[in-house]
Amino acid sequence: MFQGFSRDALDFLLGIRLNNDREWFEPRKQTYVDKIYEPLKELGAELFEPFSDVEGMMYKVGRIYRDEKFPPYLHYRDTMWIYVRYEAFWWSKTPTLFFELSPEGAEYGFRISKPDASLMERFRAQLSEAPEDFLAMIDDLENNHGAVVGGDEYKRRKKCDDPNVERFFQKKGLSVSIKTNDPEILFTEKLTERINELFKALVPLNGYFHELAEIDALSKALEKESAVDPEPVINLVEAPKVDFMW
């Protein structure tokens, strides 16, 4: 059962940030296992439990080892995470309920960090046609749960005629989350309760974007299926224009 993280866990992640090498990590590996990895697994199982009967839902607990094939070519992560989401090949393109632990504390909530541009086009179109349901969800999350809307924005602003949804038109990714570094929450079992409370409130928003993602994927599949290769060009040998004897 998850009992909370500890100051040792945050100090360890800060140490990784300042000393990202095997020489620092290896003598302290057991600290990682005891203070971060094992509690993270316990928390992940508890966060997923309410979703365990939902078809297609899964969860994943991150490991500290980075893939050294990709930049910034560091050995270890200084931010650890848990994802609860529908199965997808590209996790960054699908709506996700998440928890992250860093030297600064914890952040948890909803995120779709790098969706396809076509999905966000559908999102903006749906906002233009029927903004009420989405705005009601955001209003509940901001005012009743203290969540904060974030996400990367386009450099060139998208035109929007409705001031109520204009801020969402500018998002090329979206997050709705809470941050905490309160020891009374972070270092106790209360953290599970707080995250589960927000995850429950985020279910409609997660479903909203999951439906958009499914429609977008289906549309792309149909376009690909209906694409017809152009008729092959057959180059016939032109008959001679002048009669001659064989």
Does residue 47 have a pLDDT over 60? Answer: yes
Placement of tokens 């999951």 in the chain: 210
Placement of tokens 């479903």 in the chain: 207
- Report the pLDDT value the prediction gives residue 93, as an integer from 0 to 100: 79
- Report the pLDDT value the prediction gives residue 234, as an integer from 0 to 100: 57
Task: Give the residue among 169, 163, 110, 170 at the shortest CA–CA distance from 137.
Answer: 110
Does residue 164 have a pLDDT over 80? Answer: yes
Does residue 235 have a pLDDT over 60? Answer: no
Burial of 205 (0-12, 13-18, 19+ CB in 10 A): buried
Span 168-183, pLDDT tens digits? 999 999 999 999 999 9
Span 83-129, pLDDT tens digits? 999 887 666 678 999 999 999 999 999 999 889 999 999 999 999 99
Query: Which of the pair, 216 or 101, is modelled with greater confidence?
Result: 101
Mean pLDDT to the nearest integer, 136-164:
95
Alpha helices (H) in 33-175, listed in sequence order: 38-48, 117-129, 132-145, 166-169
Rounded to the nearest integer, the mean pLDDT of the chain is: 89
Mean pLDDT to the nearest integer, 34-57:
95
Q: What is the DSSP letter of 68?
A: T
Sign of CA dihedral 72, 73, 79, 80: positive
- Report the pLDDT value the prediction gives residue 246, as an integer from 0 to 100: 35
Span 57-71, pLDDT tens digits? 999 999 899 876 666
- Report the pLDDT value the prediction gives residue 13, as an integer from 0 to 100: 97
The CATH number of 7-221 is 3.30.930.20
Burial of 40 (0-12, 13-18, 19+ CB in 10 A): buried
Cβ(106)–Cβ(99) under 8 Å?
A: yes
d(CA 81, CA 102): 9
d(CA 146, CA 197): 12
Sign of CA dihedral 18, 22, 28, 30: positive
Cβ(60)–Cβ(96) under 8 Å?
A: no
The token pair that represents 21 in the structure block: 């090498």
Domain ranges of the chain: 7-221
pLDDT band at 223 (very low <50, low <70, confident <90, very high): confident
d(CA 234, CA 193): 69
CB atoms within 10 A of CB 44: 20
